Amino acid sequence: MQISASAKRLLKLVFVASSAQGPVTRPRLERGSGLSRPELSAALDELARLGLLDAQRLRLTLPGLALAVACGAKAKATLRPAATRPPPPSALHAPVVLFSRREAPRAVA
């Protein structure tokens, strides 16, 4: 599959913009890609013709997602809270009580 450099750049940009906050719009893609309106339209048409982009919704198709990732597109990293272990329940560290205080000790097998 032959894809132009501007279409490949736009493919990566749509991938990143889709995983960021806010809607993906043509003006946002124009600003992010540095393409003029006609160049942007041509790149969008090329991606739609190849089945990599839904042009109406400005969303990548599954093959478009796969190609964007294969081309090296990366979503912005989101900070996740560090995984912490919950404190152990205190019952696990308590001694086993075999007899009640009122009961006389007996043999335990």
CATH number for the domain spanning 46: value is 1.10.10
Residue 83 lies in a domain: no
pLDDT of residue 38: 93
Asked if residue 85 is part of any domain, the answer here is: no
Interval 2-11 mean pLDDT: 91
Is 48 domain-assigned?
yes
Average of per-residue pLDDT across 88-108: 64
Q: H-type helices in 1-109, by residue range?
A: 5-19, 26-33, 37-49, 62-70
d(CA 62, CA 34): 25
Q: Domain for residue 104, yes or no?
A: no
* Structural domains counted in the chain: 1
| Stretch 49-72: mean pLDDT | 92
Contact of 67 with 11, CB cutoff 8 Å: yes
Residue 58 lies in a domain: yes
- State the pairing for strand pair 59-60/53-54: antiparallel
| 1 — pLDDT class (breaks 50, 70, 90) | confident
For residue 42, the enclosing domain spans 5-70
pLDDT at 63 over 70: yes
